[in-house]
Amino acid sequence: MFKSREFFVRLKGDYALFTNPSTKGGGEKSSYSVPTKQALQGIIDSLYHKPTFRNVVTEVKVMNQIQTEVIGTRALLGSGKVNTADLNYVSYLTDVEYLVRFYITWNEARPDLINDRNQKKHEAIMERSIKKGGRRDIFLGTRECVATGEYLTQEEYEQAESYYNGKVLSMGIMFQEFEYPIENNQPLTSYFADIVMKNGVIRFKKKEDCEIVNTLSNYNFKSQTEVKSVDKELEEYEQMEPR
């Protein structure tokens, strides 16, 4: 299986909310103590992603002490002309910084894009996208938790010391990721894993090694038919850069 060189990015924000599914029902949401793989996957995809390939997050390093802050939020109830308001309390993570390690692999479900599989050009675009702060805004779990992204070298990643250096912490069973179907009317699958943080680093398990697998309802989607070629993508980047 194809695997690109590894990339490293620093994510920083004042707040983060990686919602624990068990707290969603009542409206007063509470965050997991650490980011889920699925949340990080979405963030990395916002940096640069195409149907040609998949971004694969392998680990995250939690740099700062885990702290929370409970904030009251105003929620509208009812519909139509008559609405009432209620106060919900949301538990956010505060002053967060995460270092993420990931790589690119080809999307084997899209053989029609095989001519777009140019490793060097995709890697070049990914590096430039990270250095520009990403192609889309970065959110840490939810839209109100805005963050910044910063390019890191492998040396900078490995030398960065976490607040939890020298410690081993068990986070218990957490939601890890979804597996989206590649054809309509196939089920959406969710994976839960026993998460352990060593020296501030969480190495995510492979799907087959997760402790809990849930099969959800069938999933329908529209396939993207027209995709801009990697040659055109790189050409546009080069035109935007100062001479």
Per-residue pLDDT of 85-120, as tens digits, reads: 667 788 999 999 999 999 999 999 889 899 999 999
Q: Backbone phi, then psi, for 115, in 5-degree steps?
A: -75, -10
200 in Cβ contact with 235 (< 8 Å): no
For the domain 7-223, what is the CATH code?
A: 3.30.70.2660
pLDDT at residue 25 greater than cutoff 80: no
User: Pick the residue with more confidence: 5 or 217?
Assistant: 5
Residue that the structure tokens 């624990």 belong to: 20
For helices 119-131 and 230-240, give the axis angle rounded to 10 degrees: 40
Q: How confident is the model at residue 71 (pLDDT cuts 50, 70, 90)?
A: confident
Q: How confident is the model at residue 186 (pLDDT cuts 50, 70, 90)?
A: confident
